[in-house]
Structure 1
Amino acid sequence: MSTDVAVVEKTLETIWTEILGDLAEDQKDATFFEAGGESISATRIVSRIEEELDIEIEVGDIFEEDPNLESLIRIVKARAAG
């Protein structure tokens, strides 16, 4: 499991951007749903996190929390630490 903070943050930023697309500068803090996220994109994000970081989160974490990228990073770091 890669718990290096910089690696986790960069990997999550890449996953978020590749799945949800580049956001305009004024939308950088958009939540998952504000960025156009839906069930298939949540599933893809969760799968990529597990594949690339070996950290498990649930699709429900995304639906219940509706995180922006920064919040998602906190969720993943908490799971990695726990």
Structure 2
Amino acid sequence: MTGNDGDSDHVTRILHAATQGREGKAVLCDRCDMPLIFTGRERATSVQTPMVVITGHCPNAECSDDGSPHRHPEE
């Protein structure tokens, strides 16, 4: 598996989450089923347009969020 495949998977998961959010469906943590919180930040790149990095994290302090990507349930 190449780095590009991982990037593509990340983009697919973010787009899936955005679609679910637009449809009024919460994207849930795969560990504890709490709704994820999505945050975005800009990261400078060598091109003119900065890259926006969107990450999802679980607000549940008891959920052992080790930084690995959350899986978004397929419906």
Alignment TM-score > 0.5, same fold: no
Structure number with the higher strand fraction is: 2
TM-score by length of 1: 0.30
TM-score by length of 2: 0.32
